[in-house]
Structure 1
Amino acid sequence: MSLITLAAGGTGGHVFPALALARSLSARGHSLRLVTDQRGLAFAGDFDPAGIDVISAGGLVSGALHRRATGLFRLARGYVQARSLLRRQKPAAVVGFGGFPSAPPMLAAQHLGLPTLLHEQNGIMGRANAFVSRQVRQISSAFPLLEGVPASAEDRVSAVGNPIRADIVAVGETAFTPPKPNGALNLMVVGGSQGAAVFASLLPAALNRLSPAERARLHLVAQIRDESRAETEARLATLGLGRLEIAPFFSDMPQRLAAAHLVLSRSGATTVHELAAAGRPAIFVPLSVHRDDQQGRNARLLTDPGAALLVREGGDAPQWVAAHISTLLAAPEALADMATKARASALLGAADKLADMVEQEIATP
């Protein structure tokens, strides 16, 4: 069978979909290599270390001239490293997953005449993927609507979804059971790697706006970073919640999701697709630092059909979060409707669809 090289930036959002594709291709008998930067190693624990190549990576950053020059130098250095690797390893294809560490191997592959494909995890194409998209053979998108695609590449886009763990998908295969009238509501709060800190302040402020009777019905499980955990837990402990559990990380996420009636979270691409696959209602608070409102666009997969609600960061965010929770406590049947719509919005089987696309390209003369 063939050697396939995967190129992914140094965040979990880029690396995890690459690892999911690796598992699918490996099951079909292909060999895999992963090209990333030093940061990406932290998320590649499931990949054979002997099959990982670390290159220099820089971005097309804005700001001071020296920062831009440094980024371009590192990008050029990564290109030279990637070109050398690809000439020596001779993969049948290179698949990019975005993030600037993916750009050098994608460009090098194109210049060497190797087939290239890319996958975009977000609802708007990232700069690295847009930079290399003009010569890729196929573009797979996680969302039905992908914005920011160069006009010359629009006819090569196919929506396949985001690869999701099988144990998360299995949660959605079991019927959602809403809270009983006046019964406990299991609220789960997760933040993701880029912005969990906001919930340390938002959550106590929002729940404090609920009535004592409403708070007593809440069974709260919250992912809060260690640096904020003690203060947040102390504030929440004074609110008379029905149950309270706080941890910096949950290793049993499928079980937690299965028990949840409602999830309060950021709207990173992986989170949105996991909640859709699990069929869980959500309140999204998108990360506000993205100039292109990346997470707001991601959230539309579930907010448009009514499977999730959206609250923007700001001074009135606690008020809106509290209002939504209060409404759902009063009408638990609405949660069942949201759960059904969430599961119906899921794009499942993405890893196998991506593997099909790769095999199609390496079979093409």
Structure 2
Amino acid sequence: MRVVLTGGGTGGHIYPALAIASELQRLDPKTSFLYVGTEKGLEASLVPREGIPFEAIDISGFKRKLTWENARTVWRFIRAVSRSKQILREWRPDIVVGTGGYVCGPVVYAASRLGIPTLIHEQNVVPGLTNRFLARFATRIAVSFAESLAYFPAKKTVYTGNPRATAVLHGNAEAARRSLSLPADKKIVLVVGGSRGARAINEATLALAESMADFPDCHFVYITGEVHYESIQAALRQRAGGPDNLTLLPYVHNMPDLLAATHVSVNRAGASTLAELTALGIPAILVPSPYVTNNHQEKNARGLERAGAAIVLLEKELNGTTLKQALASIVGDSEKWSHMHRQSRIMGKPDAAQQIVQLIRGTS
């Protein structure tokens, strides 16, 4: 089978596509892939790292208010559709799979105009503009949340979950502890703001660093995002070198292994992140980004909060003190941790990638 994957901008769109590729390759090692993204997106560095051929097109997203830039975006879209058609005619895929981000628009649309079967995957509760546009053209639609079904045509939409859930199931906790030199006898508290970092989480965690010694049974793994790493490293050095129970990293490529070792996670509330956490049943402190379309991260997070699988702290509520209190309430109460772990697992869809692959094989 020949599969074109497209999706980009952030890890939340890219990692689901890579998870689908991994599952397809596991079932049929002869499957061939081509990834279409943009040079400016994170996909330009992540995809080649996975050994998947990469083609770039020039496209940008629409602004949500009237502006001349939108006129230029329409022109870029028309040119990107033309370029996408050229790529698809040359590569001749059996199916095109889009996992979100504006780059999906011209690629999936071009495939539909050429009569190539398509599948799009929506990660968030509230669909983005691109997938709402593509819904009328896509052959099949997969969604991460049951609440999303109402936004798409019922006859071609399936609630599968997020394929990142499947990708993290085979993580090796011991491998993560060895590769990152983490102590074997400590509970791992993972703090991460996403592939590009999150200033609010970073600032609160920096404040928390002064009292990490109050958690002697825990070791903190603090992933700052590459943009913020040097400034936070410098700030920690000013505070007598930082706490002994802290490992500071700009980015982690072996996230499934690290998640397998994680006891509690402090995260944004992107859909891929929540899929990973619930697949493994990791209790979480979620800090939804207020800067995303339709406030979809808070809507994602509140579902876990209602189920008892997470504590939600909005950015306006987040500081070193509130983060410490939330963390202490979980790591200091084994019954609460066990309850959150169970509730998180109940919400998980660990077979999501398999379900999506079944759709792909039945559609192509």
| One-letter amino acid of the structure 2 residue matched with residue 42 of structure 1 | S
Label 1:228 to 1:54 Cα distance change in 2 as closer, same or farther (>3 A): same
| One-letter amino acid of the structure 2 residue matched with residue 125 of structure 1 | P
Given that 2:173 and 2:260 are in contact with CA atoms closer than 8 Å, whether structure 1 keeps it comes out as no
Using the size of structure 1 for normalisation, the TM-score is 0.83
Selected match of 1:122 from 101, 121, 124: 124
Percent of aligned pairs with the same residue? 28
Given that 2:123 and 2:143 are in contact with CA atoms closer than 8 Å, whether structure 1 keeps it comes out as yes
Whole-Å Cα distance in 1 between the matches of residues 2 and 356 of structure 2? 15
Selected match of 1:132 from 134, 147, 151: 134
Whole-Å Cα distance in 1 between the matches of residues 106 and 49 of structure 2? 23
Select between 255-264 and 290-299 the one with higher mean Cα deviation.
255-264
- Cα deviation per residue 1:101-159 (whole Å; 9 max; x = unaligned)? 11112111222222221111222211111111112221101223217725xx2442211
* Residue 229 of structure 1 pairs with residue 229 of structure 2: no
SS at 1:16 equivalent? helix
SS at 1:45 equivalent? helix
Using the size of structure 2 for normalisation, the TM-score is 0.84
Map 1:182-261; keep pairs closer than 5 Å.
Answer: 186-206=188-208, 214-224=214-224, 225-234=228-237, 243-261=245-263
Query: 1:169 aligns to what?
Result: 169
Whole-Å Cα distance in 2 between the matches of residues 236 and 160 of structure 1? 47
* Residue 7 of structure 1 pairs with residue 6 of structure 2: yes
Selected match of 1:264 from 263, 266, 273: 266
Query: 1:178 aligns to what?
Result: none
* Residue 156 of structure 1 pairs with residue 159 of structure 2: no
Select between 312-321 and 80-89 the one with higher mean Cα deviation.
312-321
Whole-Å Cα distance in 1 between the matches of residues 197 and 151 of structure 2? 26
Residue correspondences, number: 347
Select between 301-310 and 86-95 the one with higher mean Cα deviation.
86-95
Query: 2:357 aligns to what?
Result: 355
Whole-Å Cα distance in 2 between the matches of residues 339 and 313 of structure 1? 24
Query: 1:298 aligns to what?
Result: 300
Whole-Å Cα distance in 2 between the matches of residues 173 and 214 of structure 1? 24
| One-letter amino acid of the structure 1 residue matched with residue 306 of structure 2 | D
Whole-Å Cα distance in 2 between the matches of residues 317 and 357 of structure 1? 44
- Structure 1: which 5+ runs fail to align? 175-182
Query: 2:326 aligns to what?
Result: 324
Label 1:230 to 1:307 Cα distance change in 2 as closer, same or farther (>3 A): same
Query: 2:36 aligns to what?
Result: 35
| One-letter amino acid of the structure 1 residue matched with residue 164 of structure 2 | I
Deviation, 1:12, is 2.3
Query: 2:24 aligns to what?
Result: 25
Structure possessing the higher radius of gyration over alpha carbons: 1
Given that 2:233 and 2:248 are in contact with CA atoms closer than 8 Å, whether structure 1 keeps it comes out as no
Select between 15-24 and 246-255 the one with higher mean Cα deviation.
246-255
Deviation, 1:214, is 3.8
Whole-Å Cα distance in 2 between the matches of residues 217 and 124 of structure 1? 39
Query: 2:182 aligns to what?
Result: none
| One-letter amino acid of the structure 2 residue matched with residue 343 of structure 1 | R
Given that 1:303 and 1:310 are in contact with CA atoms closer than 8 Å, whether structure 2 keeps it comes out as yes
Deviation, 1:315, is 5.1
Whole-Å Cα distance in 2 between the matches of residues 64 and 129 of structure 1? 21
Given that 1:204 and 1:235 are in contact with CA atoms closer than 8 Å, whether structure 2 keeps it comes out as no
